[in-house]
Structure 1
Amino acid sequence: MKRLIMYTCLALLTSAALADEALDNELASLQHAWAKATYQTSKDQQEASFKTLSEQAHQLTAKNPEANEAQIWEAIVLGGYAKSMGPLHPVNALKAAEQARDLLQASIKTNPQALNGSAYTTLGSLYFRVPGWPIGFGDKKKGREYLEKALQLNPTGIDSNYFYADYLRAQGDNAQAVTYYQKALQAPARPGREDADAGRKQDIEDGLKLAQSKLK
């Protein structure tokens, strides 16, 4: 009987480990596809790429409803999808942004520290970029609060510093923006995310140049 229990426990542990490995592999694939759609796809093809990617991301979340990482990455993809639609399809873009917001808020409720607080980073970016009332849910104050929370959880992260810098520049605080862009450039590399890091560093350098030009 004891041996049967031991074998059953080992089988359950093995099954859980295999499930975690499968999720990790699918998340890695999604991350690379996002980097390709974001940084290596022409503007006129991005909407179609993100549409396909958002469907894949939703399937991954549906298969792993308890996985905060899947929720966060579906939201990140939806944010890219909303941005790719831009002013040409404002209703659909806002719908995608709202779906992303809801996923991120749900993730924060169950595990606010998932992916080093990435839900706060993405949520903050959405709130400061989406138009405010009566068009959308955008709110600059909430955006800042979420981005500052992201920095508390991940003070040296490339994304947490970049998005906060972008927020500061958008608000006209270019001196502070320069500080955070520089911190973002000094962020440690993310193993397995080399494609995303390369694209993000270009974003950072572009933002840094804009902020510095306003200080002259």
Structure 2
Amino acid sequence: MKLAPYLLALSLTASAAAAAEPPGFESRLDGLADSWAHVNYEVRDTAARATEAERLAGQAEALARQYPNRAEPLVWEAIAQATEAGAKGGLGGLALAKSARGLLQKAEKINPAALGDGSVYTTLGSLYAQVPGFPIGFGDPAKARTYLSKALAANPGGIDPNYFQGDFLLRQGDAAGAVKVLDRALAAPPRPGREVADRGRRAEATALLAKARQKLKS
């Protein structure tokens, strides 16, 4: 089978990039993903979760300093900070959410497709959806909708983009729309190596779907 010229160029570029990949870089990213899943879904104590999320953010920051031209460590640092923000709440949590937004905006400029699953857009959208709006915070439903739509365009069958779109729609009072995308989230294919994250997100999607369906009945 012959490759079209542009596909051949893309293939060669990808091969060159893979050859130039820093030794252990991908395994360290996998380690960040595994650690986050443990912190977010298996650490039950809120204070302990905040502490572990802060430690994880520090590890991601160190990797980002080592590889300043890579977006992936910035995304994981932002995700860890957002998790810490959720655990802490209050003004401290808001400051962390702002920091996470800044990291994601930086990552977006480097490579908006980092991690290959729409994570940059998903996380930005979820922050704009969940953080309080002006004058307290930077929450903005219009920006949330834009980023979450980009996330779905990048990864239409993914569990995370559909879950956060469902969460957003339910917050906006669109229970029917939420049910549709949450059903899609629960139908998402498993992610190899992400079993803990998948199990935790499916549990969240199941609970949110029940809430959306209850809204439709009321």
Structure 2 residue aligned with 1:183:
184
Structure 2 residue aligned with 1:99:
99
Structure 2 residue aligned with 1:26:
28
Among 67, 71, 78, which residue is 1:68 paired with? 71
CA contact (8 A) 1:75 1:100 kept: yes
SS at match of 1:82: helix
Structure 1 residue aligned with 2:134:
133
**Unpaired segments of 5 or more residues in structure 2?**
1-15
| Equivalent runs, 1:1-216 vs 2, <5 Å | 16-17=20-21, 19=22, 21-44=23-46, 45-86=48-89, 90-115=90-115, 116-216=117-217
CA contact (8 A) 1:57 1:70 kept: yes
The structure carrying a bigger helix percent of its residues is 1
CA contact (8 A) 2:37 2:197 kept: yes
**Unpaired segments of 5 or more residues in structure 1?**
1-11
Distance in structure 2 (CA, Å) of the matches to 1:28 and 1:174: 35
Deviation of 1:136 after TM superposition, in Å, equals 1.0
**TM-score normalised by the chain length of structure 1:** 0.88
CA contact (8 A) 2:162 2:184 kept: yes
Distance in structure 1 (CA, Å) of the matches to 2:133 and 2:216: 28
The 10-residue stretch of structure 1 (170-179 or 60-69) with the greater mean CA deviation from structure 2: 60-69
Report the residue type matching 2:108 in the other structure.
Answer: I
**TM-score normalised by the chain length of structure 2:** 0.87
Rg comparison, structure with higher value: 1
Deviation of 1:16 after TM superposition, in Å, equals 2.9
SS at match of 2:170: helix
Identity fraction in percent: 45
CA contact (8 A) 1:43 1:84 kept: no
Moved over 6 A (4+): 12-15
Report the residue type matching 1:97 in the other structure.
Answer: A
Deviation of 1:106 after TM superposition, in Å, equals 1.3
Deviations 1:65-97 (A, max 9, x none): 1111111111111110110101xxx22211211
Distance in structure 2 (CA, Å) of the matches to 1:29 and 1:111: 21
